Amino acid sequence: MCLERKVMDKNIEKMIAVVPSERQLKWQELEFYGFLHYGLNTYLEIEWGDGSAALDILNPSDMDVEQWIVSMKAAEMKGIVMFCKHHDGFCLWDTKTTSYNIMNTPYGKDLLKEVADACVKYDMKLGLYLSPWDRSHPAYGTESYNDVFIQQLDEILTGYGKVFCVWFDGACGEGKNGKKQRYDWERYYAFIREKQPEAVISVAGPDVRWCGNEAGWHRAQEWSVVPAKLMSAECVAELSQQEDTEEFRAKQVNSTMEDLGSRKALEGAGPLAWYPCEVDTSIRPGWFYMEHDDNRIRPLDELLDIYLNTVGANANLILNVPPCREGYFKKNDVKRLNEIGCFIRDTFSYNLAEDAIIQADSCAEDGLVEAVRSQNMDGYWKAAAGKETAELEFMFSSEKTIDYCMLMEDIRQSQRIEKFRILYRTEGAWEEIFEGTAVGHKKICRFEPVKTDAVKVVIDESRSCPTLRFAGFYYGYYVPEVKTRSR
């Protein structure tokens, strides 16, 4: 028994020693941002172009880049990931690496520059998507394509201001010469570190883990400490889209991948890494604009459910909205973005526990319970040394109706909480209203509304000395209901 305990302690020490880098911490704070799929595919209404589309088809009559950015900001997104080049190899910026680019279309303007300027104007962070798979560049499939790709990275990373992420797609197929490319990932990564040291490299990269599906599906427990072997780009490529089908986009992750980071999953898993999850999905059935999808915008409840189970369950959410052929977001997409933003603002603006009396059953010397009133990173609460469980009590100034609780761990000290409950006081007794597992950066707990003057957060299991950076309680008059998924 004693020996077992010692082995466990060693394992736990190893798990909690894994913490985020500065760039991962900053990325995690963004929580929710947009994706933009636009290009020649938009005009052909296809998802994957093969590089043969004529450039003169890209001729938007009412290009309105600012509308994209403003609409995404209204949804409470903190940034956007601009689509620079998809698998067809068509470049949306003024590049010297190929003539297959936006400057040679009737539109004739550098779209990345326009998006970057709008991001500065509206205080939105800019991320860049660049597909390594390129179906039109003649060098693809040869070593010199790696030089071309580095030059493309150089152009987009030096000419358009600061970027928060470089998003590498896992899809990897043949070029027009039938050859497959051996990507020099290490060279790409080192180059990005040199040019934009604060940017995370996402998906086929070492900083941000792809959730494993494109449907908005999420795990029951999302852990940021996972086996380091998941970081290999080859591993991402194997799981990625191999052909262009709606089935793939709707497919949920395979069940063997459901548990990546529980204690059990990590025991004997070899080296561990901080590799946090991002969920990517689209507001429509496809990534690119298709007119016949104008009335197939995903229902609000479904999108809110995805938001609550990603941003509210230790994952960042990147939601794609495709501009139409004329160059703007259609009104149904804009309406949905507004509704998402209204929900987030209405529900989470006012923390009902802000003026509560807060007590914890133990506190580490440097972890003061008062810190959990605010989401800022100045302080945190931490249980006393040697403690694996804890109880925090919130006594409200008067009776409140609540149906949401938001918890945030201080992930600078790793992810520690494994099991917790929320209880509320009713007629002098404590009743349980929620039971949860992993918390991580943020956990949003939903439950039936209760009227109460006091609540408790009880941490039943943790990887020793649990922490909280924030604990808030809310009343949201609108509670999304989800029955079926449309994708």
Q: Name residue 185's amino acid.
A: W
Supply the minimum distance, in Å, between the C-beta of residue 240 and ligand FUL: 5
Supply the minimum distance, in Å, between the C-beta of residue 341 and ligand FUL: 23
Q: What are phi and psi of 116, to 5 degrees?
A: -60, -40
The answer to whether 381 contacts ligand FUL (rule: CB under 6 A) is no
Cα–Cα distance, 47 to 383 (Å, whole number): 50
19 or 46: whose CB is closer to ligand FUL? 46
* Binding span for ligand FUL by CB under 6 A among 165-173, 174-182, 224-232, 431-439: 165-173
The answer to whether 128 contacts ligand FUL (rule: CB under 6 A) is no
The CA-based angle 199-205-377, given to 5 degrees, is: 45
Supply the minimum distance, in Å, between the C-beta of residue 130 and ligand FUL: 11
How does DSSP classify residue 49?
-
**Site residues (CB under 6 A) for ligand FUL, limited to 15-74:** 47
Question: Shortest CA distance to 405 belongs to which of 422, 381, 393, 382?
Answer: 422
**Site residues (CB under 6 A) for ligand FUL, limited to 286-305:** 287
Q: Is 378 exposed, middle or buried (0-12, 13-18, 19+ CB in 10 A)?
A: exposed
Supply the minimum distance, in Å, between the C-beta of residue 241 and ligand FUL: 4
Q: DSSP readout, 76-130?
A: T--EEEEEEE-TT--BSS--SS-S-BGGGSSS-S-HHHHHHHHHHHTT-EEEEEE
The answer to whether 171 contacts ligand FUL (rule: CB under 6 A) is yes
Q: DSSP readout, 133-200?
A: --SS-TTTTSHHHHHHHHHHHHHHHHSS---SEEEE-----B-TTSPBP---HHHHHHHHHHH-TT-E
* Binding span for ligand FUL by CB under 6 A among 164-172, 321-329, 429-437, 466-474: 164-172
The answer to whether 281 contacts ligand FUL (rule: CB under 6 A) is no
* Binding span for ligand FUL by CB under 6 A among 169-177, 348-356, 444-452, 475-483: 169-177
Supply the minimum distance, in Å, between the C-beta of residue 318 and ligand FUL: 8
Are 114 and 60 spatial neighbours (Cβ–Cβ below 8 Å)? no
The answer to whether 169 contacts ligand FUL (rule: CB under 6 A) is yes
How does DSSP classify residue 411?
G
| Pattern 398-417, ligand FUL, x by CB under 6 A | --------------------
**Among positions 24, 105, 241, 452, the unique one binding ligand FUL when judged by CB under 6 A:** 241
How does DSSP classify residue 423?
E
Question: Shortest CA distance to 329 belongs to which of 53, 80, 127?
Answer: 80
Supply the minimum distance, in Å, between the C-beta of residue 280 and ligand FUL: 6
* Binding span for ligand FUL by CB under 6 A among 22-30, 153-161, 166-174, 228-236: 166-174
Cα–Cα distance, 148 to 139 (Å, whole number): 8
* Binding span for ligand FUL by CB under 6 A among 163-171, 260-268, 298-306, 404-412: 163-171
**Among positions 280, 403, 410, 418, the unique one binding ligand FUL when judged by CB under 6 A:** 280
The answer to whether 240 contacts ligand FUL (rule: CB under 6 A) is yes
170 or 212: whose CB is closer to ligand FUL? 170
244 or 259: whose CB is closer to ligand FUL? 244
Supply the minimum distance, in Å, between the C-beta of residue 35 and ligand FUL: 7
CB-side neighbour CA atoms (13 Å) of 335:
9
Question: Shortest CA distance to 312 belongs to which of 361, 347, 282, 281?
Answer: 347
- 3-state SS, 223-234, equals CCEEEHHHHCHH
* Residue in the shown chain whose Cβ atom is closest to ligand FUL: 171
252 or 375: whose CB is closer to ligand FUL? 252
324 or 454: whose CB is closer to ligand FUL? 324
Continuous segment of H or E residues that includes residue 24: helix 22-30
18 or 306: whose CB is closer to ligand FUL? 306
Interacting residues toward ligand FUL by CB under 6 A: 47, 169-171, 240-241, 280, 287
